[in-house]
Structure 1
């Protein structure tokens, strides 16, 4: 009897954790793209962030630049960010000003995450790895500008598809 109640409790607990995870992502909207970029931040009270990256959306890659400001930060750090883009309906909606509340304590190397949103309702959830020495706890305003001169189709190997065709070699004549 005790073993059965432990199993029921474990099943309910696992189901609750799964549903919380599913609910936590649903307010962000549907995942519509991916993003990666490299940024630098230099701060002395008020700070400045700049960098460049790539948006992957609709089977194409779009390069962009990013720059912005933060308050209440000191130090310097640089790093790579990767993340998911939510609620992007048109590539034009990606460009604009994103707002985020950030916290960073990097000494040597650090790992963190952030959630940003722009005026078009596009949200970006980032995981980033930083190096340097920087302490920040502030709102941050970042402006993303798409490079209008270059959007490239993704190579066929990097596109994901639901079905893949396999080729069967033709029979050889003897």
Structure 2
């Protein structure tokens, strides 16, 4: 009898943890893409962040640039971010300013995460690894601009010998 009770409790605990995980992600909406990018931040009271990255959406990749600002930050750090994109319905909705409340305390190397949202309802949940020495606790914004993809390596700016224009 006791082993049956232990199994029921274990099953309920597993179901409960699964439903909590499912509920925790459902407010973000459906996962529609992934991002990865590299940024640098330099701060002396006010902060500035810049970098480049790649969005994977609808089976294609889209390069983008990021730049942003934060208040109440001191130091320098750089790092790599990876994350999931939620509620992206059209590629045009990815561009814009994402807002987040963020904090960072990096001395040497650190790992953290942040949730950002833009005016189009697109959300990004990031996990990032930073290195440097930076302390920040403030609202921050990050402006994303899609870049034109570079030309494929097979195209050439010079016509082949004997080709006529």
Q: TM above 0.5, one fold?
A: yes
List gaps (5 residues or longer) in structure 2: 153-165
Aligned to 1:82: 82
> Could you say which residue in structure 2 is the equivalent of 1:105?
105
Q: Which runs of 5+ in 1 are unaligned?
A: 154-174
Post-superposition shift, 1:151? Answer: 7.2
Match of 1:18 in 2: 18
In the alignment, the residues of structure 1 paired with residue 32 and residue 132 of structure 2 have an alpha-carbon distance, to the nearest angstrom, of 32
Specify the alignment match of 2:161 in structure 1: none
Q: Aligned-pair distance for 1:2?
A: 2.0
Q: Partner of 1:70 in structure 2?
A: 70
Deviation at 1:45, TM superposition (A): 1.4
Q: Secondary structure at the match of 2:88?
A: coil
- Counterpart in the other structure of 2:4: 4
Alignment-derived partner of residue 168 in structure 1: none
| TM-score, with length taken from structure 2 | 0.89
Deviations 1:60-98 (A, max 9, x none): 111111001011111110000000100000000000000
1:71–1:138 CA contact under 8 A, matched in 2: yes
Provide closer, same or farther for how the CA distance between residues 21 and 152 of structure 1 changes in structure 2, counting only shifts above 3 A.
farther
Number of corresponding residues: 152
For 2:105 and 2:13, locate their aligned partners in 1 and report how far apart those are by CA, in whole Å.
Answer: 33
Contact 1:35 1:84 (8 Å CA) reproduced: yes
Take 1:9 and 1:43, find their aligned partners in 2: how far apart are those partners? Answer: 51
Check if 1:33 corresponds to 2:30: no
* 1:73 match: secondary structure: strand
1:1-174 aligned within 5 A: 1-147=1-147, 149-150=148-149
> What CA RMSD, in Å, does the superposition of the two structures yield over aligned residues?
1.4
Using the size of structure 1 for normalisation, the TM-score is 0.84
8 A contact 1:40–1:50 mirrored in 2 = yes
**CA–CA separation in structure 1 for the residues paired with 2:144 and 2:151:** 18
In structure 2, the CA distance between the partners of 1:109 and 1:91, relative to structure 1 (3 Å rule), is same
